[in-house]
């Protein structure tokens, strides 16, 4: 079974992904794929530099993700352009990983569940790749607080980054399962374990 895992900016999706991995899921991290395709010398790197210019590079010629983020969260047109370049390539990479997962035969006990950890899974139109969807939810005020602390942003900047994604309400509407991440790590883990048991039985 291929499972999508998404949520709002700063809702704690990565924590849930870690717990699923500990339970035996195979994990595809869309953020890692993004870093890979934007690494120095890659085709996507070249296209992004062509569009955004040298100002987003660090001293080694690599894309400075903080500089890029600062630009795209201030300008919706720039963010849309980056997504137009990056999302199709991220999707191709994910599709390749799904093929590998479905063809697993060499392992004695191949994993039954593949988790696609993707913050923009719905925004990028990749929901057709998954059999079910898990959304990590967090109360809006707590979400703002966590983003401010994690990313060292003021409230206005945090809200801008949160607002750059689909509203969490829209994601919850299409979720098969919801993880409420307002509590402790242990409470989140318990919810993950409950969902894991259900999807393993279904898978």
Stretch 33-59: mean pLDDT: 94
Cα-only R_g, the chain: 18
pLDDT band with cut points at 50, 70 and 90 for residue 154:
very high
pLDDT value for 203: 67
Instruction: Find all residues with CB under 8 Å of 59, minimum gap 6, and list them.
Output: none
Q: Write the pLDDT tens digit of every residue in 165-185.
A: 999 999 999 999 999 999 999
Where are any strands of DSSP class E within the chain? 2-7, 26-29, 114-117, 132-137, 177-180
Backbone φ and ψ of 24, nearest 5°: 120, 5
Stretch 179-196: mean pLDDT: 96
pTM score = 0.91
Q: Would you say residue 105 has pLDDT above 90?
A: no
What does the alpha-carbon distance between residue 13 and residue 7 come to, in Å, rounded to a whole number?
6
CATH code at position 198 = 3.40.50.300
CB 203 within 8 A of CB 24: no
Q: Would you say residue 104 has pLDDT above 80?
A: no
Domain around 41: 2-202
pLDDT band with cut points at 50, 70 and 90 for residue 113:
very high
Count of structural domains within the chain: 1
């Amino acid at each position: 079974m291929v499972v999508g895992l998404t949520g709002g900016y700063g809702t704690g999706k990565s924590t849930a992904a870690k717990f699923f991995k500990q339970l035996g899921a195979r994990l595809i991290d869309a953020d890692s794929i993004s870093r890979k395709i934007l690494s120095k010398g890659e085709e996507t790197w070249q296209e992004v530099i062509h569009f955004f210019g040298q100002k987003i590079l660090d001293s080694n010629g690599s894309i400075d993700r903080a500089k890029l983020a600062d630009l795209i969260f201030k300008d919706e047109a720039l963010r849309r352009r980056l997504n137009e370049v990056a999302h199709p390539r991220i999707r191709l990479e994910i599709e390749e990983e799904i093929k590998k997962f479905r063809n697993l035969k060499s392992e004695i006990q191949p994993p039954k569940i593949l988790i696609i950890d993707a913050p923009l899974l719905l925004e990028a139109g990749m929901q057709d790749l998954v059999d079910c969807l898990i959304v990590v939810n967090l109360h809006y005020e707590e979400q703002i607080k966590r983003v401010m602390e994690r990313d060292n942003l003021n409230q206005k900047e945090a809200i801008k980054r949160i607002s750059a994604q689909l509203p969490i309400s829209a994601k919850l509407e299409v979720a098969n399962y919801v993880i409420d991440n307002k509590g402790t790590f242990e409470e989140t883990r318990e919810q993950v374990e409950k969902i894991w048991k259900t999807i393993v039985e279904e898978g």
